[in-house]
Amino acid sequence: MMGRVNPLRVLFAILFLGIAGSLILPWQIELQHLDRSAHFRSATLDLGLRERVGQAAFIAALSGFRAPVAALLWISAHAAWEKTEWGKMDALFESVTTLQPRVLLYWDIAAWHMAWNARASALQDLTQPSEVLRERSAGHYVALGRNFLERGIKNNPDQYLLYESLGRLAGTRESDHGAAADAYAKAASLTNAPAYLKRLAAYESSLTPGREREAYERLLSLYHEGAQQRVPTLVTRLHEFEQKLGIPKDQWVNDSVSSYPFYPLKAPK
Amino acid sequence: MSRRFSSSSRIFAIAGNTFTDLVRQRVFLFLLIFSLMVIGCSALLAKFSFQEEFQMLKDVALGAMSLFLSFFAILASAMLLPRDLEDRTIFTILSKPVPRHEYLMGKLLGVLTMLLLSTLIMGGLFLTVLVLREQSVLLETRNSVVGSQQELASALAEVRKSAFNWNLIPAMAILFAKASLIASLTLMISTFATSGIFAILTSVSAYFIGHLQETAREYWLGGVTVHWWSRLFSALLALVFPDLQAFNLSDDIVAGKGLPLDVFWQTIALGGVYTILYYLVACFLFQKREL
């Protein structure tokens, strides 16, 4: 057994640590602001999360193990998917995205599971004889998917991926081509966005009633960007609008791609 | 006979002995658990998409590194003084012209060397598994993508983006800085602790308090209307304990966030300052301690 330290020394040590701590404190606060401005340490660990993930996982998350806890919950969500337990999956996705709000993958896949897989499952749910109620349930899952994407965007406003997914969801799941065009256009304006997003924005505009002129201008502008953007779908669509809007023939683009009739002008149902 | 205030050869001799002692206690066996965890995790996650697999592999591996390093820093540092007292080696050392601060510095450096080596081994193992899996996925992608060269290049770039990125290296350096701080804090606690168990339990408590320091600080400075003693208690926690949340940047780094250089250096410097501060307090407490 060790001997004792003079209690007065311990008191002096605490006092010294307090004084040193007060000198370091402004630095720690500044570092915290610096971290937050660089989008670090942005997760909010509140009592709502504690109720969802349980005491042990919450303590682990508080102790600096947010990422491993999120990974384990993600594996649980995958197991729930294999059993098509959509409600459980939704709750687990909520916890995962709360723990790791900067991981785009979690928001994106959570939204995809809800708006695509859970929706399809709801539409084919034979235990629900009413088609109206099946449709309603499917719509509910699509809304959950949208909600994940919107919150993901709020947490990661500088990333194109979730805007792209939102565009896909609006266009294919909600048939809201105007919203899809806006989402793709926003995605295309962000850093590192792939070139095809501009085309997707133009295609979705072309499917939106009342936005034909805007769609034509977008398509034409892309066409003039060069060979990289002159894919068959774009050229086909451009020709369709030249005819539809009565553009003088001398202003038509000089490109023929009639052998590539994909991506029809008619909006998919 | 006069002797110098401090001698690096004496410090390195004690550090070397501490390091050898820790190696002899087979502390590296915990690396075996880490290896099994990372390799097992990699095999288990193969059924997920490659993005999910790499994301979770990084999450689990860096989380496990953080856990093992913190665990090791506490256990190794807390048992240093009690074991030397039990073996009576401390009397042999301190009866020679070895000042107590040199003895503590040697002990701390021994533990830090062990922590550094553990970080390098775990980091190396993790990166090896990650790169091997990346190569395997790249090969699968090359064999499975049917399309233009541009499409293939885009798919391969997507795989590369999801796997290794250079920010993982500073993430590991920050984990080492955190473990060093914890080792120094535990050494300080062990200088006034009455037993090894007490030092371990107090250090574990300090570890948790350190992670809540940010909350205590905001409670103290946030202008919340509370009893004066509650505010005083929060202030005490905020001033005496380090903000360990400042070292938990790997959670966001694995999300693909680039680590700004000033954030990295300031975090490392904060770890260094606290390590030195706790070492100085440990020297102060140990200087006049009855053995």
Closest CA to B14 of B86, B96, B75: B96
Query: How far is residue A212's CA from residue A217's CA, in Å, rounded to a whole number?
Result: 9
- Contact check, Cβ <8 Å, B63/A68: yes
Closest Cα in chain A, distance from residue B93 (Å): 16
Chain A, window 70-99: residues with a beta carbon less than 8 angstroms from a chain B beta carbon: 70-71, 74-75, 78
Find the CB nearest A27 among B55, B247, B270.
Answer: B270
Find the CB nearest A70 among B59, B211, B285.
Answer: B59
Minimum CA–CA partner of B218 in chain A: A29
Render pLDDT for A141-195 as a digit per residue (tens, 0 to 9): 999 999 999 999 998 998 999 999 999 999 999 999 999 999 999 999 998 888 8
**Which chain A residues are closer than 8 Å to B193 by Cβ?**
2
Contact assessment for residue B174 and residue B250, using Cβ atoms and an 8 Å cutoff: yes
> In Å, how far from its chain's centre is CA A124?
26
Closest Cα in chain B, distance from residue A22 (Å): 6
Minimum CA–CA partner of A44 in chain B: B215
Task: Look at residue A29 and give its three-state secondary structure.
Answer: helix
**Which chain B residues are closer than 8 Å to A35 by Cβ?**
246, 249, 263
pLDDT for B1 equals: 46
A107 secondary structure, DSSP code: H
Contact assessment for residue A231 and residue A199, using Cβ atoms and an 8 Å cutoff: yes
Q: Is the dihedral of CA B260, B262, B265, B270 positive or negative?
A: negative
Query: How far is residue A169's CA from residue B75's CA, in Å, rounded to a whole number?
Result: 52
Contact assessment for residue B164 and residue B190, using Cβ atoms and an 8 Å cutoff: no
Render pLDDT for A59-70 as a digit per residue (tens, 0 to 9): 888 788 888 889
Minimum CA–CA partner of B64 in chain A: A68
The complex's ipTM works out to 0.83
Reading the block at residue A47, the tokens are: 């009592």
Query: How far is residue A109's CA from residue B85's CA, in Å, rounded to a whole number?
Result: 56
Minimum CA–CA partner of B195 in chain A: A1
**Which chain B residues are closer than 8 Å to A1 by Cβ?**
194-195
DSSP collapsed to 3 states, chain B: CCCCCCCHHHHHHHHHHHHHHHHHCCCCHHHHHHHHHHHHHHHHHHHCCHHHHHHHHHHHHHHHHHHHHHHHHHHHHHHHHHHHHHHCHHHHHHCCCCCHHHHHHHHHHHHHHHHHHHHHHHHHHHHHHHHHHHHHHHHHHHHHCCCCHHHHHHHHHHHHHHCCCCCHHHHHHHHHHHHHHHHHHHHHHHHHCCCHHHHHHHHHHHHHHHHHHHHHHHHHHCCCCCCHHHHHHHHHHHHHCCCHHHHCCHHHHCCCCCCCHHHHHHHHHHHHHHHHHHHHHHHHHHHCCCC
pLDDT for A2 equals: 54
Q: Which residue has the higher pLDDT, B279 or A248?
A: B279
pLDDT reading at A264 higher than 50: no
Task: Look at residue A122 and give its three-state secondary structure.
Answer: helix
Find the CB nearest A40 among B60, B212, B263.
Answer: B263
Confidence of residue A269 (pLDDT cuts 50, 70, 90): very low
Query: Tens place of pLDDT for every residue, chain B, 291 residues?
Result: 455 566 788 899 999 999 998 888 777 777 778 878 887 877 777 778 888 888 888 988 898 899 889 989 999 999 888 888 888 888 888 888 888 999 999 999 999 999 999 999 999 999 999 999 899 889 988 888 766 777 788 888 888 888 888 889 999 999 999 999 999 999 999 998 888 899 999 999 999 999 988 888 887 887 667 777 888 888 888 899 999 999 988 888 887 778 899 999 999 999 999 999 999 999 999 988 877
Collect all residues with Cβ–Cβ distance below 8 Å to B104 and sequence separation of at least 6: B187, B191, B279, B282, B283, B286
Chain A, window 170-229: residues with a beta carbon less than 8 angstroms from a chain B beta carbon: 194
Closest Cα in chain B, distance from residue A188 (Å): 17
Length of chain B: 291
Render pLDDT for B39-80 as a digit per residue (tens, 0 to 9): 787 777 777 888 888 888 898 889 889 988 998 999 999 988
pLDDT reading at A261 higher than 50: no
Minimum CA–CA partner of B245 in chain A: A64
Find the CB nearest B55 among A16, A34, A105.
Answer: A105
Contact assessment for residue B252 and residue A42, using Cβ atoms and an 8 Å cutoff: yes
Q: Is A24 on the interface with B (CB under 8 A)?
A: yes
Task: Look at residue A52 and give its three-state secondary structure.
Answer: helix
What is the average pLDDT across A133-139?
A: 92
**Which chain B residues are closer than 8 Å to A67 by Cβ?**
58-60, 62-63, 250-251, 254
Phi, psi at A209, each rounded to 5°: -60, 135
Reading the block at residue A93, the tokens are: 């996705």
The pTM of this model reads 0.82
Closest CA to A180 of A188, A189, A169, A190: A169
Cα-based angle A109, A110, A116 (whole degrees, multiple of 5): 80
Query: How far is residue B259's CA from residue B250's CA, in Å, rounded to a whole number?
Result: 9
**Which chain B residues are closer than 8 Å to A109 by Cβ?**
49, 52
Task: Print burial letters for B125-162: b (CB count within 10 Å at least 16), e (below 16).
Answer: bbeebbeebbeebbeeeeeeeeeeeeeeeebeeebeeb
pLDDT for A256 equals: 60
Q: How many CB atoms lie within 10 A of CB B87?
A: 11
